[in-house]
A and B are shown apart, each in its own frame.
Chain A
């Protein structure tokens, strides 16, 4: 009762004090006010500013990572003069078309610490950016089907706990009690147990891009859409700016966060990178009443699934496996993914596929990302996220901002070096080596 009272008064003070300091502040009072005002008072979620001649930092790429970087540069690292340059419309790339999963259940310490940091940032994100990204921590369950798999999940679960994340090992009976509709009777590869992370879950992906854009915009970041970077400007070997479809723009530092388009962008600086761009397909079904409470991944094939708040089943599988910038894949992968789905949960057989997309994944040579300076002064790189970039959005933004602001790596991303392949310090979760399509 007391808690309610304290919370309510805190709510009121929060609601009343913030509105003037912002261009556009969102909360329930504003929603009610505008509802009575025929919704005439809503302003732009982010502005369309004029491009300045020079900035302290330019971020190339208006996706989740680029926008998050700009936000943290302004909020945590006090950089004032920032621009995000987006070729088309912000959030139109992978952040706009993924399976929305967040989790921190990696095997290797270098990765696990980073993703756990990201998960902690997800937990307080909405307040930071003043936008409801529907961060929903309803649990991520990875089922396994053999002793060997169980052993590797035990190792992984231990890594998670050692790095401060939460993890539990479930036996098959526990799984049956939470997910009674999985196939326990007729499976080709019977479920033997699962690794469960309660704090894992889903986030509304579009809202992440729009939310970070809103948050960054409130802090004075210039978000420039329909501005394609066509080249870099160099002076005595240092990168001093970019050439764009809207003219030249100078900057002290330039950070590249363009995911699957990284090689194309960096080729303009004459760089070949340890990356291959691959297509990953994602699928959504017609909207159904609630069936799947959390995120489940299949262990005997590539398949993972969750159910969005609108009711659609959101699922995906493996990359198609060949270099592609086409943002579409083949029918055989669609069939493969559906086979995995029915092997895990036959009950979704009658659900109807409504839509499918493909994105461009920047697959790296060890499956782990790159957040590092390049050999060119002033030019910084954030890439190699493979198909796991969405969950990394906050930490990637934070660590890239740290690197750009301070000139050296955040401790949690110091292993994500570009030259680690040259020196033999690969961070290889799957143990597949220098073949991007196997990660």
Chain B
């Protein structure tokens, strides 16, 4: 697969390491009453969709950036590649 890095252009997949669903960006609050349940769901339960999937990749052999990639898990087509920091900052803003 080819990943079109937002800063570096198209790179081969062998430069990257996969982590998992981008919901891992939404780490729960530790001091919430239901923290243990929230963390369990956050860490373990997945939609595992057959279709458009937002997921986290690390550019290990490049600029060491974390990326959020929107990819179809049935066709492997990649629609979007974004910097995780930007996505996370957007998420934080919308939560405020």
Which residues from chain A sit less than 8 Å from chain B, CB to CB?
A: 261, 263-264, 267, 272-277, 321-326, 330, 332, 365, 421-422, 434-437
Do the beta carbons of B19 and A435 come within 8 Å of each other?
yes
Contact of A263 among B12, B37, B40, B49 (CB under 8 A): B49
A264 CB to nearest B CB, Å: 5
Contact A276 B20 (CB under 8 A): yes
Indicate whether A264 sits within 8 Å of B43 (C-beta atoms), given known contacts A276-B20, A332-B13: no
A205 to B37, CA, bound (A): 41
Q: Give the distance in Å from the alpha carbon of A267 to the alpha carbon of B19 in the complex.
A: 22
Among the listed B13, B21, B47, B71, which residue makes an inter-chain contact with A330, where contact means beta carbons less than 8 Å apart?
B13
List of B residues within 8 angstroms of A326 by Cβ = 73-76
- The count of chain B contact residues (Cβ–Cβ below 8 Å) is 27
Instruction: Take A325-B73, A332-B13 as given contacts and tell me if A434 and B48 are in contact as well, using a CB distance cutoff of 8 Å.
Output: no
Q: Is the CB of A325 within 8 A of B45?
A: no
Q: What are 27 of the A-B contact pairs (CB < 8 Å)?
A: A263-B47, A263-B48, A264-B48, A264-B50, A272-B45, A272-B48, A273-B45, A274-B45, A274-B46, A276-B21, A277-B48, A277-B73, A322-B18, A322-B71, A323-B53, A324-B76, A325-B50, A325-B74, A326-B73, A326-B75, A330-B13, A332-B13, A421-B44, A422-B37, A422-B40, A435-B19, A437-B20
A-B contact count (CB 8 A): 70
Within 8 A of A (CB), among B3-61: 12-14, 17-21, 37, 40-41, 43-50, 53, 55
Q: Footprint of A on B, CB under 8 Å?
A: 1, 12-14, 17-21, 37, 40-41, 43-50, 53, 55, 71, 73-76
- CA gap between A274 and B48 in the complex, in Å: 9
> From residue A290, how far is it (CB to closest CB) to chain B in Å?
35
State in angstroms the CA–CA spacing of A418 and B39 once bound together: 16
The verdict on A435 contacting B45 (CB below 8 Å), with A264-B50, A323-B73, A324-B73 known, is no
Complex-state Cα separation, A326 to B74, whole angstroms = 5
Residues of A contacting B46 with CB < 8 Å? 263, 272-276
Smallest CB separation, B67 vs chain A (Å): 13
In the bound complex, what is the Cα–Cα distance between A323 and B76 (angstroms)?
Answer: 9
Closest chain-A Cβ to B9's Cβ sits at a distance in Å of 19
Most-contacted residue by chain A among B12, B17, B50, B55 (CB, 10 A): B50
With a CB–CB cut-off of 8 A, which chain B residues contact A421? 40, 44
- Inter-chain CA distance A385–B42, complex, in Å, is 22
- CA gap between A330 and B1 in the complex, in Å: 7
